[in-house]
Structure 1
Amino acid sequence: MISRTIFTDLLIMAFLVALQVFVLNRITLFGKFTPVLYPVFVMFYPFFRNKFQFLALSFLIGLSVDGFLGTWGINALATTVIAYFRTLIFRTSTDTSTDFFSFQSLQWTQFLLFLFSSIFMHQLLVQYIEFFKFSRIFEILLNVLVTSVISFIFIIVYALIFKIKQKV
């Protein structure tokens, strides 16, 4: 188990926000899709830590991204919602009914399903709040799906580089 404190959490958040704002937001794939990586903080936050602190940090990382991008709280809402429902997403995507959660005990397919479910929910919230119009529903859904797949690939690379599945 990796030892984390509030200080290391804030450092990880600063790294992810800087990476998102100064690097990934400058990458545009196929002319309009930008990979999103900062929600990995929410997805990989240790399950045994204080839930209120987790929700506050999740809100803070989303608000930090919003502050740089000028998106008026959309990312803060999306990260807080996936933080709030993370246990439910984990249980439904892994068929786990115990109260102890661990990524080490998951099979890779369950781990990948959890990641994709989380990023898809995040993107669905962000895209619908930002661009919602009834006349653009299919365009928005396509945008959510493509951005989720691209972000999923970036998150898998991040998880493999930092060996997240073995640590958390």
Structure 2
Amino acid sequence: MAVPTVEDGGAVWRIAQESEVLDVNSPYSYLLWFRDFARTSVVALQSGDVPVGFVTGFRRPEQPDTLVVWQIAVHGGHRGRGTASAMLDHLTARLTADGALRHLETTISADNAASQRLFRSFAQRHAAPLERDLLFPAELFPGTHEPEFLYRIGPLL
């Protein structure tokens, strides 16, 4: 696990694109993200320092002790090995050690069972309460989009 660099942006964009479930941002956005939000993100690396997974996150300006996980993905050939859980644990441990984290938030659509399991198991592993509430109903999105539910986990110890 490592703090991402702008050089990781292209590989991360490809992982997001290949996931077939994420809303893929522009390649530029991943470069910018790793310039400005590297401290609140993580990449999983295989030999040769090639990213095989990533978490992008940011601290909420109004609640700087809250990490919002924007995206999380693992390359197809590395799924099912606990990489996503390890990345979340690594990132939150790093931020908690700095005294910068008490809560984790993410949004998940109702049809994304894998992400629901990932974040529920994170809450269980960390013995932290999990709240789930509708954040963005489908009618707020242009075009067709599932409603997004806010998962708020914490306080983390």
Q: If the TM-score is normalised by the length of the shorter chain, which range does it land in?
A: 0.3 to 0.5
Scaled by the length of structure 1, what TM-score is found? 0.32
Query: What TM-score do the two structures reach when normalised by structure 2?
Result: 0.34
Higher relative contact order (CA 8 A, sep 6+): 1
Q: Which has the higher strand share?
A: 2
Structure holding more helix per residue:
1
